[in-house]
Each structure stands twice: as C-alpha cells, then as structure tokens.
A = this chain, B = another copy of it.
C-alpha cells in the first residue's frame, strides 16, 4: 500500500471531527491528502483552513461541493450560480485538485427531468469561464440514479461525459465507486473519460447488502459488493493515478464510532481490498 495514494474525504470522519482535528489525525497516520466539505471549511474559516493546508503541504483532492443548479425561479438559479462562484473561490484558496459537483435534482413541484438537466447545463455554462480564470478544475460527479429526484439528475458516467463534451475541454468528472459500480457501460465510459483526460477524482466506499438508507448507509471498503480493485485497475488503465478518496456517509455505523477507529479501518482496508 502506498499511503500517498489515500485521501480522506472529511465526510468520512464527520461523526467525530471538524477540519482541524481530522487533518491532525490524518497527518499522525501519514495521510497527506484530504477532501473537505464547504461547511467544514466555513466552520474553521477559509483562511485558517487554507493556512493548515499550505503549512502542512496537504493535497486537497477535491472540495465538496458545488452544484445544486436547478431551481423553480430565475432568482433561485441566479443565487445558485453566485454560490457556485463562491465555491470556486474557496477551492482556489485551498489549491484543490477540483471542485466536485453534485448538480442538483428536480426543483420543488417539478416532474420535468429534461428541463432540470438543461438548467444544470446552463448553470455550468454560466460559471465555466470564472472557474477557468481561477484555475479550478470542475468535476461533474454522476450520482447513483436513486438520487435523480432530489440530489443529482446526472446519473451515469456516460451522461456526465456527454455533458462535459458539450461544455468543452476544461471540465471533467469525479468517478465514485458507489455511484457507478452497477453500470454495464462502466469499462468503456472510464476508458472514454481517460482518453479525454477528464478523470479528476476517484472516490471509494462500498455498497452494502442490505442498504438501509438511500443516503446515509454507505459501507467501508470490503464490507459490501463492489469490486474496488477492478475499478481501480480500470481507472489506472485510463491514465488517472491520483489518490483514491474515501468518502463514507454512515449515520448509524461509522459516524458513531471514534474517528481513530474509522481512520485505522480505512487504512487497513485500503491496504487489502482497494
């Protein structure tokens, strides 16, 4: 195991720690890559978060998250665009590899998924030049189809890449095992993403059987059914060799355990099943 290739998404230790405590625990274990959430950065302050990152030479594999473009009104959509510009500023201050996007789902009262998807594309179009000027790569994260209604209407890697191609060369994707593992077109779409140099992040956790909550019951690597090594081989063969970022939402299990136990388990599983 090369611990340089392990990144901790700070959602994983959300049950125990804020930004500074999580970084300290990572550094104590030789982990030098993280991916924080905007609320965690805001809680400590952007300047202090950036200071910690730069003072410790941390790699920030992504900032979570931009997106949530669709809204029922033009004002709502403009507010989302403004907020995404602020997220780009924050990612720039942290020197993040990318800003990760959860693009948003149906506006309240809407059943129009095609129109919602157009709002997402319009949102990206409105912020792309700003991101390029800030030198912040944007990573569209296709989310599992079970989130299409309320969280993210980009639901396959193919769909994300089709969108990225329409937007131009300066936007890519985050490939998260949890969201894409089921996809029968995964091998060819990962290869396609690689050919276009659009793989900006590689997230891992596991799919549990049974899964007891649609959002907050993700598994530790090795506890579920995803063939994580096969996925890693596909992603590496496609030319992405950045860290694997561990992102586990687990309200009833891992978030209730001490952060130290979570991190030590992540390290052990990273060495054996990823």
Residue ranges of A at the interface with B (Cβ–Cβ < 8 Å): 106, 110-113, 117, 144-146, 148-150, 153, 155-156, 159, 181-184, 207, 209-211, 214, 224-227, 230
Contacts and interface: CB of A to CB of B under 8 A. Distances in A.
Contacts of A146: 144-146, 211, 214
6 contacts: A113-B181, A144-B145, A145-B182, A149-B182, A149-B209, A156-B184
Given A155-B182, A182-B145, A184-B159, A150 B209 contact: yes
Contacts of A113: 181-182, 227
> Secondary structure of the A side of the interface?
loop
A227 B113 CA distance: 9
Copies of this chain, whole number = 2
A271 B242 CA distance: 54
A181 B147 CA distance: 12
Nearest to A224: B149
Nearest to A162: B184
Contacts of A148: 181-182
A170 to B, nearest CB: 22
